Structures are given as structure tokens and as C-alpha cells.
């Protein structure tokens, strides 16, 4: 029982700071979008392609979360947008205090949307609020179509689900209809977009959604 109480206190403190992050973002007119996926699903590629597609439409900032290194943040910096690297030192997810420090380093007055690339896995990230308005889960074709069955929590909480690397479907045993059915059994409302960051197929549908939610600043 004491262990449960300790966990509850930790989560409560995190949620309180996440709420403060959200107030700060709302006051600055910035929408935070939390990107979650397995390693290699294409989170960074998604962010890079989205940055290019949104040039002239939205001002973008990025918080990059990794256990170690600045490889992804370096790629984003080369795209010419403000980016902050957060290394968790072994922790399998970002949390609200980490994101608060990231927000301190970003020029929020000069941006409309912040993409938060969470640490790559399908378990821990969904359990910690960051101050984000939206949660996005990326599933890539090479991972297989059974991920909603194996990791139901993250797909249940998702506001948007992206199927990435659809250019590989002809070469792999991936049943998109089965994947969509599994998501819908858990989550009746989240839009599901099929896309390829490699070819650009389906990217416009995703970026139009981003523009719509940022412009409205609320659910669509």
C-alpha cells in the first residue's frame, strides 16, 4: 500500500505541473502536440516533413525527447526551426518537469505549435501528462498490424492515429483493415490517417488537421 501512495503522489505532482504547462501554452497561443511511437516508426521523419509542409502556414517549435544523444534535434535544427533536446538519461518517457524546462528554452511568442517527440516506446509515454492538447500515435507498416492488440492503452488514449510507411505495404504482410478495426474497437473517435513520410502520400490530410486544430485552438 505505501508503494501505491508514493506512485499516486508522483503522478499527482506531474499532473499539476502539466496543468501549469498547459496554462502557459494557452496563454501564449501555442498548441502542443505529443508524438508517440515505437523506435523507428518515423516520428522524426514525420516532424521534419510536417515542418516543410507547414512553412508559411504555421510557426513551429519542437521538443525532442530521447534517452541519449541529440541526433534527432540536430536534424530538426537543420530545418531552421527552434528545437530543444531533452535527454532522459534512461527514463522511458518525457514528463511534465522535463517539458517545462523545454518550454523555458523555446521562444513561445514566435510559434503557433510545438511538436513534442516523446521517447520511443508504446507503453510509458501515454501514462504521463505533459501539458499537451493532443496525443498522436504513429504506427509504421514494418511494425505489423497487431500493435493495438498488444498495446491497447496508448491507442485508447490517442487523439489521432497515423499509419506511416504505407509505401512498404506491397512488400510486407500488413493488414491495414485489421489495424483500423483493432483501433476502432478501442477508440471510436480518433481520426486515422494513412501516409508515407518517404513519398509524401497522405501528408496533406495530416497537416490540414494540424492547421485546423491550431487555428481553432480547441477540439475539431
pLDDT digits (tens, 9 = 90+) for 105-140: 999 999 999 999 999 999 999 999 999 999 999 999
Q: Is 200 left (phi over 0), alpha (psi -120 to 50) or beta?
A: left
Distance CA 101, CA 28 (A): 16
State the cell numbers at 179. Answer: 489495424
What integer is the mean pLDDT of 51-61? 98
Percent of the chain with pLDDT over 70: 94
State the cell numbers at 32. Answer: 502542443
**pTM of this structure:** 0.93
For residue range 156-177, list pLDDT tens digits in order. Answer: 999 999 999 999 999 999 999 9
For residue range 68-96, list pLDDT tens digits in order. Answer: 999 999 999 999 999 999 999 999 999 99
Place 8 in a pLDDT band, splitting at 50, 70 and 90: low
Mean residue pLDDT across the chain: 94
pLDDT the model gives residue 1: 43
Place 9 in a pLDDT band, splitting at 50, 70 and 90: low
What integer is the mean pLDDT of 138-143? 98
Sign, CA torsion 13/16/22/26: negative
Distance CA 187, CA 103 (A): 30
Percent of the chain with pLDDT over 90: 92
**5 has pLDDT over 70:** no
Q: What is the DSSP string of 169-206?
A: GGGS---HHHHHHHHHHH-SS--EEE--TTT-TTHHHH
Q: Structural domains in the chain?
A: 2-216 (3.40.50.300)
For residue range 23-33, list pLDDT tens digits in order. Answer: 999 999 999 99
Please, which residues have CB within 8 angstroms of residue 174's CB and are 6 or more apart in sequence? 141, 142, 144, 145, 168
Ordered alpha helix ranges (H), 55-202: 71-78, 96-104, 147-150, 152-157, 176-186
Place 6 in a pLDDT band, splitting at 50, 70 and 90: low
Amino acid at each position: 500500500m505505501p508503494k501505491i501512495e508514493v506512485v499516486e503522489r508522483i503522478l499527482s505532482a506531474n499532473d499539476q505541473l502539466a496543468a501549469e504547462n498547459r496554462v502557459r501554452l494557452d496563454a501564449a497561443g501555442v498548441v502542443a502536440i505529443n508524438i508517440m511511437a515505437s523506435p523507428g516508426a518515423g516520428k522524426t521523419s514525420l516532424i521534419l516533413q510536417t515542418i516543410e509542409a507547414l512553412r508559411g502556414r504555421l510557426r513551429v517549435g519542437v521538443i525532442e525527447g530521447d534517452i541519449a544523444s541529440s541526433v534527432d534535434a540536430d536534424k530538426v535544427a537543420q530545418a531552421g526551426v527552434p528545437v530543444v533536446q531533452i535527454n532522459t538519461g534512461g527514463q522511458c518517457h518525457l514528463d511534465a518537469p522535463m517539458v517545462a524546462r523545454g518550454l523555458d528554452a523555446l521562444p513561445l511568442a514566435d510559434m503557433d505549435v510545438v511538436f513534442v517527440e516523446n521517447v520511443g516506446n508504446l507503453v510509458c509515454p501515454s501514462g504521463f501528462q505533459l501539458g499537451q492538447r493532443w496525443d498522436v500515435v504513429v504506427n509504421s507498416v514494418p511494425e505489423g498490424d497487431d500493435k493495438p492488440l498488444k498495446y491497447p492503452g496508448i491507442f485508447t488514449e490517442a487523439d489521432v492515429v497515423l499509419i506511416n510507411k504505407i509505401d512498404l505495404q506491397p512488400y510486407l504482410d500488413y493488414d491495414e483493415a485489421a489495424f483500423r478495426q483493432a483501433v476502432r474497437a478501442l477508440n471510436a473517435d480518433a481520426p486515422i490517417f494513412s501516409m508515407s513520410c518517404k513519398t509524401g502520400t497522405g501528408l496533406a490530410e495530416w497537416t490540414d488537421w494540424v492547421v485546423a486544430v491550431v487555428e481553432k485552438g480547441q477540439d475539431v
